[in-house]
Amino acid sequence: MKFRVGVISGDGIGPEIVKEAKKVLDKVGSEFGHEFEYEEILMGGCSIDATGVPLTDEAIEAAKASDAVLMGSIGGNTSTSPWYTLPPNLRPEAGLLKLRKALNLFANLRPAYLYEELKEACPLREDIIGDGFDMMIMRELTGGLYFGDRVTEERNGVMTAVDTLTYNENEIRRIAVRGFDIAMKRRKKVTSVDKANVLDSSRLWRKVVEEVAKDYPEVSYEHMLVDNCAMQLVKDPAQFDVILTENMFGDILSDEASMVTGSIGMLSSASLNETKFGLYEPSGGSAPDIAGKGIANPIATILSAAMMLRYSFDLDAEADAVENAVKQVLKDKYRTIDIMPQEAERAGEVTQVGTSKMGDLICERIQ
Protein backbone atom coordinates (compact mmCIF):
# COMPACT_ATOMS: atom_id res chain seq x y z
CA MET A 1 0.00 0.00 0.00
CA LYS A 2 0.96 3.62 -0.44
CA PHE A 3 0.92 6.11 2.44
CA ARG A 4 1.43 9.85 2.42
CA VAL A 5 3.52 10.89 5.41
CA GLY A 6 3.90 14.56 6.28
CA VAL A 7 7.34 15.12 7.79
CA ILE A 8 8.16 17.90 10.23
CA SER A 9 11.91 17.64 10.74
CA GLY A 10 11.99 20.84 12.75
CA ASP A 11 14.95 22.21 14.68
CA GLY A 12 18.01 21.08 16.63
CA ILE A 13 18.33 17.28 16.59
CA GLY A 14 14.95 17.07 14.77
CA PRO A 15 16.34 16.55 11.24
CA GLU A 16 18.95 14.04 12.52
CA ILE A 17 16.45 11.78 14.28
CA VAL A 18 13.73 12.07 11.63
CA LYS A 19 16.23 10.96 8.97
CA GLU A 20 16.69 7.68 10.87
CA ALA A 21 12.94 7.13 11.30
CA LYS A 22 12.45 7.62 7.54
CA LYS A 23 15.25 5.12 6.90
CA VAL A 24 13.39 2.63 9.08
CA LEU A 25 10.05 3.29 7.32
CA ASP A 26 11.74 2.77 3.95
CA LYS A 27 13.15 -0.55 5.19
CA VAL A 28 9.66 -1.55 6.34
CA GLY A 29 8.40 -0.53 2.90
CA SER A 30 10.87 -2.71 1.05
CA GLU A 31 10.44 -5.71 3.39
CA PHE A 32 6.63 -5.62 3.51
CA GLY A 33 5.77 -4.13 0.10
CA HIS A 34 4.58 -0.64 1.06
CA GLU A 35 5.47 2.77 -0.24
CA PHE A 36 5.89 5.80 1.99
CA GLU A 37 5.75 9.11 0.20
CA TYR A 38 7.13 12.02 2.24
CA GLU A 39 6.24 15.67 2.15
CA GLU A 40 8.42 18.01 4.22
CA ILE A 41 6.36 20.49 6.27
CA LEU A 42 7.96 23.55 7.86
CA MET A 43 7.25 24.18 11.54
CA GLY A 44 9.10 25.79 14.44
CA GLY A 45 12.26 27.86 14.28
CA CYS A 46 13.06 26.80 10.72
CA SER A 47 9.65 28.08 9.64
CA ILE A 48 10.23 31.39 11.46
CA ASP A 49 13.51 31.79 9.60
CA ALA A 50 11.90 30.96 6.23
CA THR A 51 8.48 32.60 6.53
CA GLY A 52 8.43 34.81 9.64
CA VAL A 53 5.90 32.60 11.46
CA PRO A 54 6.27 29.20 13.22
CA LEU A 55 3.45 27.58 11.22
CA THR A 56 1.82 28.81 8.02
CA ASP A 57 -1.71 28.01 6.86
CA GLU A 58 -0.17 26.07 3.97
CA ALA A 59 1.74 23.93 6.46
CA ILE A 60 -1.50 23.15 8.32
CA GLU A 61 -3.18 22.21 5.04
CA ALA A 62 -0.25 19.98 4.08
CA ALA A 63 -0.48 18.20 7.44
CA LYS A 64 -4.23 17.72 6.99
CA ALA A 65 -3.72 16.35 3.49
CA SER A 66 -1.33 13.62 4.68
CA ASP A 67 -2.32 10.23 6.12
CA ALA A 68 -0.20 10.89 9.22
CA VAL A 69 2.60 13.22 10.29
CA LEU A 70 6.01 12.21 11.58
CA MET A 71 7.77 14.90 13.58
CA GLY A 72 11.23 15.43 15.07
CA SER A 73 11.21 18.37 17.46
CA ILE A 74 11.03 22.12 17.35
CA GLY A 75 12.55 24.98 19.31
CA GLY A 76 15.96 26.19 20.38
CA ASN A 77 17.82 27.23 23.48
CA THR A 78 15.16 29.29 25.26
CA SER A 79 17.79 31.49 26.98
CA THR A 80 19.99 32.29 24.01
CA SER A 81 18.17 31.74 20.71
CA PRO A 82 16.87 34.92 19.00
CA TRP A 83 13.56 33.09 18.41
CA TYR A 84 12.78 33.76 22.10
CA THR A 85 12.96 37.53 21.68
CA LEU A 86 9.85 37.33 19.45
CA PRO A 87 6.31 37.80 20.80
CA PRO A 88 5.05 34.51 22.33
CA ASN A 89 2.66 33.74 19.46
CA LEU A 90 5.55 33.87 16.97
CA ARG A 91 7.91 31.55 18.83
CA PRO A 92 8.61 27.93 17.73
CA GLU A 93 6.37 26.26 20.34
CA ALA A 94 3.36 28.33 19.22
CA GLY A 95 3.53 26.47 15.91
CA LEU A 96 3.29 23.08 17.60
CA LEU A 97 0.39 24.15 19.82
CA LYS A 98 -1.43 25.64 16.83
CA LEU A 99 -1.03 22.41 14.88
CA ARG A 100 -2.24 20.24 17.79
CA LYS A 101 -5.33 22.44 18.09
CA ALA A 102 -5.97 22.69 14.34
CA LEU A 103 -5.92 18.90 14.01
CA ASN A 104 -7.84 18.37 17.28
CA LEU A 105 -5.13 16.04 18.60
CA PHE A 106 -6.54 15.76 22.10
CA ALA A 107 -5.16 12.33 23.04
CA ASN A 108 -1.42 12.07 23.60
CA LEU A 109 -0.15 8.54 24.27
CA ARG A 110 3.30 8.28 25.80
CA PRO A 111 4.34 4.68 26.53
CA ALA A 112 7.10 4.37 29.12
CA TYR A 113 8.56 0.89 29.10
CA LEU A 114 11.76 -0.36 30.68
CA TYR A 115 13.61 -2.65 28.28
CA GLU A 116 15.24 -5.56 30.09
CA GLU A 117 18.53 -4.59 28.39
CA LEU A 118 18.34 -1.02 29.70
CA LYS A 119 18.00 -1.86 33.37
CA GLU A 120 21.54 -0.69 33.85
CA ALA A 121 20.73 2.73 32.34
CA CYS A 122 17.82 3.24 34.76
CA PRO A 123 18.85 5.53 37.62
CA LEU A 124 16.68 3.66 40.15
CA ARG A 125 17.95 1.05 42.62
CA GLU A 126 17.75 -2.60 41.56
CA ASP A 127 15.17 -3.49 44.22
CA ILE A 128 12.90 -0.71 42.91
CA ILE A 129 13.34 -1.75 39.28
CA GLY A 130 12.37 -5.35 40.12
CA ASP A 131 10.89 -6.99 37.02
CA GLY A 132 10.72 -3.63 35.26
CA PHE A 133 7.66 -1.59 34.37
CA ASP A 134 5.39 -0.75 31.47
CA MET A 135 3.04 2.21 31.66
CA MET A 136 1.06 4.35 29.25
CA ILE A 137 0.75 8.03 30.03
CA MET A 138 -2.47 9.38 28.50
CA ARG A 139 -2.02 13.12 28.38
CA GLU A 140 -4.85 15.50 27.42
CA LEU A 141 -3.28 17.67 24.73
CA THR A 142 -5.60 20.46 23.56
CA GLY A 143 -6.88 22.00 26.78
CA GLY A 144 -5.78 23.27 30.16
CA LEU A 145 -3.14 25.90 30.83
CA TYR A 146 -1.66 25.57 27.34
CA PHE A 147 -4.79 26.95 25.69
CA GLY A 148 -6.32 29.19 28.36
CA ASP A 149 -6.60 32.97 28.15
CA ARG A 150 -3.38 34.68 29.15
CA VAL A 151 -2.25 38.23 29.65
CA THR A 152 0.75 40.14 30.95
CA GLU A 153 -0.07 43.67 32.07
CA GLU A 154 0.52 46.26 34.73
CA ARG A 155 -2.02 46.08 37.52
CA ASN A 156 -1.89 48.82 40.16
CA GLY A 157 1.64 49.63 39.07
CA VAL A 158 2.83 46.01 39.33
CA MET A 159 3.64 43.83 36.33
CA THR A 160 1.31 40.86 36.48
CA ALA A 161 1.03 37.74 34.34
CA VAL A 162 -2.07 35.55 34.20
CA ASP A 163 -2.48 32.06 32.73
CA THR A 164 -5.84 30.32 33.01
CA LEU A 165 -6.60 26.61 33.31
CA THR A 166 -9.93 25.64 31.76
CA TYR A 167 -11.51 22.25 31.10
CA ASN A 168 -15.08 21.46 30.20
CA GLU A 169 -16.68 18.12 30.93
CA ASN A 170 -16.69 17.05 27.26
CA GLU A 171 -12.93 17.56 26.97
CA ILE A 172 -12.40 15.49 30.10
CA ARG A 173 -14.82 12.76 29.05
CA ARG A 174 -13.26 12.09 25.65
CA ILE A 175 -9.74 11.67 27.03
CA ALA A 176 -11.03 9.57 29.94
CA VAL A 177 -12.85 7.26 27.52
CA ARG A 178 -9.61 6.86 25.52
CA GLY A 179 -7.72 6.11 28.71
CA PHE A 180 -10.16 3.42 29.85
CA ASP A 181 -10.34 1.93 26.32
CA ILE A 182 -6.57 1.58 26.29
CA ALA A 183 -6.56 0.13 29.81
CA MET A 184 -8.96 -2.60 28.59
CA LYS A 185 -6.24 -3.73 26.15
CA ARG A 186 -3.56 -3.62 28.84
CA ARG A 187 -3.54 -4.57 32.53
CA LYS A 188 -6.92 -2.91 33.21
CA LYS A 189 -5.79 -0.30 35.70
CA VAL A 190 -6.22 3.48 35.43
CA THR A 191 -4.59 6.01 37.73
CA SER A 192 -6.24 9.36 37.16
CA VAL A 193 -3.88 12.12 38.25
CA ASP A 194 -5.11 15.55 39.35
CA LYS A 195 -4.78 18.23 41.99
CA ALA A 196 -8.34 17.99 43.29
CA ASN A 197 -7.30 19.20 46.75
CA VAL A 198 -6.71 22.65 45.22
CA LEU A 199 -8.08 23.10 41.70
CA ASP A 200 -11.70 23.34 40.51
CA SER A 201 -10.67 21.96 37.11
CA SER A 202 -9.30 18.88 38.90
CA ARG A 203 -12.50 18.43 40.91
CA LEU A 204 -14.50 18.41 37.66
CA TRP A 205 -11.88 16.04 36.18
CA ARG A 206 -12.39 13.61 39.07
CA LYS A 207 -16.20 13.72 38.80
CA VAL A 208 -16.19 13.03 35.05
CA VAL A 209 -13.59 10.26 35.36
CA GLU A 210 -15.80 8.60 37.98
CA GLU A 211 -18.77 8.72 35.60
CA VAL A 212 -16.73 7.22 32.75
CA ALA A 213 -15.33 4.51 35.05
CA LYS A 214 -18.86 3.18 35.60
CA ASP A 215 -18.88 2.00 31.95
CA TYR A 216 -15.71 -0.04 32.56
CA PRO A 217 -16.46 -2.35 35.49
CA GLU A 218 -13.46 -4.55 34.65
CA VAL A 219 -11.02 -1.67 35.00
CA SER A 220 -9.79 -0.86 38.48
CA TYR A 221 -9.15 2.83 38.90
CA GLU A 222 -7.83 5.19 41.49
CA HIS A 223 -7.29 8.91 41.88
CA MET A 224 -3.86 10.21 42.76
CA LEU A 225 -2.69 13.74 43.47
CA VAL A 226 -0.05 14.90 41.04
CA ASP A 227 2.63 15.66 43.64
CA ASN A 228 2.25 12.16 45.06
CA CYS A 229 2.35 10.71 41.53
CA ALA A 230 5.67 12.45 40.82
CA MET A 231 7.04 10.79 43.94
CA GLN A 232 5.46 7.36 43.26
CA LEU A 233 7.02 7.29 39.76
CA VAL A 234 10.45 6.95 41.30
CA LYS A 235 9.39 5.03 44.41
CA ASP A 236 7.46 2.26 42.67
CA PRO A 237 6.93 2.78 38.92
CA ALA A 238 5.66 -0.80 38.44
CA GLN A 239 2.37 0.11 40.17
CA PHE A 240 1.24 2.09 37.09
CA ASP A 241 -0.57 0.79 34.02
CA VAL A 242 -2.45 3.76 32.47
CA ILE A 243 -1.83 7.22 33.91
CA LEU A 244 -4.64 9.53 32.81
CA THR A 245 -4.01 13.22 33.27
CA GLU A 246 -4.40 16.77 32.03
CA ASN A 247 -2.07 18.61 29.70
CA MET A 248 0.54 20.24 31.95
CA PHE A 249 0.71 17.40 34.51
CA GLY A 250 1.17 14.93 31.62
CA ASP A 251 3.98 17.01 30.15
CA ILE A 252 5.93 16.98 33.38
CA LEU A 253 5.17 13.40 34.47
CA SER A 254 6.09 11.98 31.04
CA ASP A 255 9.56 13.52 31.13
CA GLU A 256 9.99 12.03 34.60
CA ALA A 257 8.75 8.62 33.43
CA SER A 258 11.11 8.74 30.45
CA MET A 259 14.12 9.08 32.69
CA VAL A 260 13.26 6.00 34.69
CA THR A 261 13.20 4.08 31.39
CA GLY A 262 16.80 5.19 30.86
CA SER A 263 16.51 8.34 28.74
CA ILE A 264 14.16 10.88 27.18
CA GLY A 265 15.65 9.60 23.92
CA MET A 266 13.60 6.38 24.34
CA LEU A 267 10.11 7.86 24.87
CA SER A 268 7.87 7.82 21.80
CA SER A 269 4.47 9.43 21.47
CA ALA A 270 1.31 9.54 19.39
CA SER A 271 -1.09 12.47 19.31
CA LEU A 272 -4.49 11.36 18.07
CA ASN A 273 -7.92 12.76 17.29
CA GLU A 274 -11.19 10.89 16.65
CA THR A 275 -10.00 9.65 13.23
CA LYS A 276 -7.12 7.45 12.09
CA PHE A 277 -4.93 10.51 11.62
CA GLY A 278 -2.09 11.09 14.08
CA LEU A 279 1.01 13.16 14.73
CA TYR A 280 3.93 11.02 15.87
CA GLU A 281 6.86 12.54 17.68
CA PRO A 282 9.43 11.77 20.36
CA SER A 283 8.43 13.24 23.72
CA GLY A 284 11.74 15.04 24.12
CA GLY A 285 12.80 18.30 22.58
CA SER A 286 15.28 19.68 20.08
CA ALA A 287 18.20 19.10 22.47
CA PRO A 288 20.21 22.18 21.40
CA ASP A 289 23.10 21.03 23.61
CA ILE A 290 23.80 18.03 21.36
CA ALA A 291 22.36 19.17 18.00
CA GLY A 292 24.67 18.65 15.01
CA LYS A 293 26.95 16.25 16.89
CA GLY A 294 25.46 13.05 15.46
CA ILE A 295 24.99 11.54 18.93
CA ALA A 296 21.24 11.97 19.58
CA ASN A 297 19.27 8.82 20.27
CA PRO A 298 16.89 8.21 17.33
CA ILE A 299 14.99 5.37 19.06
CA ALA A 300 12.09 7.51 20.41
CA THR A 301 11.44 8.79 16.88
CA ILE A 302 11.76 5.32 15.38
CA LEU A 303 9.32 3.94 17.98
CA SER A 304 6.99 6.88 17.20
CA ALA A 305 7.08 5.79 13.54
CA ALA A 306 6.14 2.28 14.75
CA MET A 307 3.15 3.82 16.58
CA MET A 308 2.21 5.49 13.28
CA LEU A 309 2.25 2.11 11.52
CA ARG A 310 0.05 0.66 14.25
CA TYR A 311 -2.46 3.42 14.99
CA SER A 312 -2.83 5.29 11.68
CA PHE A 313 -2.09 2.58 9.10
CA ASP A 314 -3.26 -0.59 10.92
CA LEU A 315 0.07 -2.26 10.07
CA ASP A 316 0.53 -4.27 13.27
CA ALA A 317 3.01 -6.82 11.93
CA GLU A 318 5.16 -4.00 10.54
CA ALA A 319 5.00 -2.10 13.86
CA ASP A 320 5.98 -5.31 15.71
CA ALA A 321 8.93 -5.74 13.34
CA VAL A 322 10.24 -2.26 14.17
CA GLU A 323 9.76 -2.71 17.92
CA ASN A 324 11.46 -6.11 17.82
CA ALA A 325 14.36 -4.64 15.85
CA VAL A 326 14.82 -2.02 18.58
CA LYS A 327 14.78 -4.74 21.25
CA GLN A 328 17.28 -6.78 19.26
CA VAL A 329 19.70 -3.90 18.80
CA LEU A 330 19.68 -3.32 22.55
CA LYS A 331 20.15 -7.06 23.14
CA ASP A 332 23.11 -6.93 20.74
CA LYS A 333 24.56 -4.31 23.11
CA TYR A 334 24.54 -1.22 20.92
CA ARG A 335 23.87 2.06 22.75
CA THR A 336 23.79 5.78 22.02
CA ILE A 337 25.58 7.86 24.63
CA ASP A 338 22.43 8.72 26.63
CA ILE A 339 21.73 5.06 27.40
CA MET A 340 25.27 3.93 28.13
CA PRO A 341 25.58 2.05 31.45
CA GLN A 342 26.37 4.38 34.30
CA GLU A 343 29.06 2.29 35.92
CA ALA A 344 32.35 2.67 34.05
CA GLU A 345 33.28 -1.00 34.52
CA ARG A 346 30.18 -2.10 32.56
CA ALA A 347 30.61 0.41 29.75
CA GLY A 348 33.18 -1.85 28.09
CA GLU A 349 30.53 -4.54 27.61
CA VAL A 350 28.56 -2.44 25.12
CA THR A 351 29.31 -0.63 21.87
CA GLN A 352 28.63 3.10 21.73
CA VAL A 353 27.24 4.26 18.38
CA GLY A 354 25.99 7.54 16.90
CA THR A 355 22.57 8.50 15.54
CA SER A 356 23.00 7.28 11.97
CA LYS A 357 24.69 3.99 12.90
CA MET A 358 21.88 3.25 15.37
CA GLY A 359 19.37 3.77 12.52
CA ASP A 360 21.35 1.42 10.26
CA LEU A 361 21.59 -1.28 12.94
CA ILE A 362 17.82 -1.16 13.54
CA CYS A 363 17.14 -1.36 9.77
CA GLU A 364 19.38 -4.44 9.51
CA ARG A 365 17.22 -6.16 12.12
CA ILE A 366 13.85 -5.50 10.44
CA GLN A 367 12.42 -8.59 8.78
Q: Binding site membership for NAD(+): which residues?
A: 285-297
Residue closer to Mn ion, measured from CB, 66 or 261: 261
Report the amino acid identity of residue 83: W
Distance CA 150, CA 148 (A): 6
Indicate which residue of 49, 163, 200, 227 is catalytic: 227
- Residue ranges of alpha helices (H) inside the chain are 14-32, 45-51, 57-65, 92-102, 126-129, 169-184, 200-213, 226-235, 247-260, 299-311, 316-331, 344-347, 355-364
Q: Select the residue interacting with ligand IPM from 171, 251, 323, 338 (CB under 6 A).
A: 251
If one asks whether residue 257 binds ligand IPM (CB under 6 A), the answer comes out as no
**Residue 281 engages ligand NAD in binding (rule: CB under 6 A):** yes
Which residues are part of a known binding site?
100, 110, 139, 227, 251, 255, 285-297
Q: Smaller CB distance to ligand IPM: residue 95 or 341? A: 95
Question: Residues with Cβ < 8 Å from 158, sequence gap 6 or more?
Answer: none
Which of the residues 39 through 78 are near ligand NAD (CB under 6 A)?
A: 73-76, 78
Residues 6+ positions from 120 with CB-CB distance below 8 Å: 341, 342, 343, 346
Nearer to ligand IPM, 282 or 359 (CB): 282
Which of these is catalytic: 11, 22, 67, 146?
Answer: 146
Residues 213-252: x where in contact with Mn ion by CB under 5 A, - otherwise, as a string: --------------------------------------x-
Cβ distance to ligand NAD smaller for residue 66 or 254: 254
93 is a contact residue toward Mn ion (CB under 5 A): no
- Select the residue interacting with ligand IPM from 67, 93, 140, 318 (CB under 6 A): 93
Distances (CA, A) of 17 to 147, 187, 361: 28, 32, 14
Q: Is 11 a catalytic residue?
A: no
Residue 359 contact partner, candidates ligand IPM, Mn ion, ligand NAD, none, CB within 5 to 8 A by sort of partner? none
* Interatomic CA distance for residues 236 and 234, integer angstroms: 6
Angstrom distance (rounded) from CA 252 to CA 260: 13
The C-alpha atoms of residue 72 and residue 268 are separated, in whole angstroms, by 11
**What is the SS3 assignment for 125?**
coil
**Phi, psi angles (nearest 5°) of residue 214:** -60, -30
Q: Which residue, 66 or 297, is less far from ligand NAD as judged by CB?
A: 297
CA 212 from centroid of its chain's CA atoms:
25
Give the binding site for Mn ion (CB under 5 A).
251
Give the binding site for ligand IPM (CB under 6 A).
75, 93, 96, 251, 283
- Name the residues annotated as catalytic: 146, 195, 227, 251, 255
Give the binding site for ligand NAD (CB under 6 A).
13, 17, 73-76, 78, 93, 96, 264-265, 281, 284-290, 296-297, 300, 338
